[in-house]
Amino acid sequence: MFVNAVKAPEILEEEFTTPVTVLPEEASFEILFLQENFVGFKEALAFKESQGKYSAVNTLGYLGKYQFGETTLERFRIYNTHQFLKNPELQERAFVALCKVNKWILRKDIRRSVGKIINGIEITESGILAAAHLSGAGNVKKYLRSGGNYNFSDAYGATIELYMKKFAGYDVSEITADRLAKV
């Protein structure tokens, strides 16, 4: 899917820092300049997570374009990780479903926090959803409710605040909160 070019997301201006392994059959890809909508959000997040490669597996075993953990996949009844890595459509559906679940879990925090400034970062809905993808919705709740005193960091050093900042300002309104979202 191609979109009209408007600007390069800030995330594309940085070096990719999370090590990944890409299977040899991975097709090359082009980086598109994306709009600040859900497509732009998911593609910018995918680039940060895996350089947009569906077959990526990082050193901790996180899988695919969006770097899913096995327990997250199991929540969506996806048990065959080899098939998951070979199925771009399934990965896209899983990402949308996870966003819907996270939006439902964080719905009250989104309502209370969007527009506030925490540690110099304007809180946006897309930043919250990106941070939830990184650290889980529970850790984002702790961050928001502590006023930024709790700032989860993953094994590669990425923090909730980094994701809040880098993925702020995308229009993710097309994602509906759904605690029972399915793939």
**117-128 pLDDT, tens per residue?**
999 999 999 999
Q: For the residues 30-56, what does the mean pLDDT come to? A: 88
For residue 35, the model assigns a pLDDT of 85
Q: Please calculate the CA angle 162-90-4 and round it to the nearest 5 degrees.
A: 60
For residue 3, the model assigns a pLDDT of 39
In the chain, where are the structural domains located?
10-166
For residue 34, the model assigns a pLDDT of 64
* 115, 123 contact by CB (below 8 A): yes
Taking Cα atoms as reference points, which of 116, 52, 134 lies closest to residue 125?
116
The one-character DSSP state at 151 is -
Is residue 12 predicted with pLDDT exceeding 70? Answer: no
pLDDT tens, 134-167? 999 999 999 999 999 999 999 999 999 999 999 9
Q: What is the chain's mean pLDDT, rounded? A: 87
Q: What is the CATH number of domain 10-166?
A: 1.10.530
The span from the CA of 38 to the CA of 126, in Å, is 9
* 128, 140 contact by CB (below 8 A): yes
The span from the CA of 42 to the CA of 129, in Å, is 10
The span from the CA of 46 to the CA of 19, in Å, is 14
For residue 159, the model assigns a pLDDT of 96
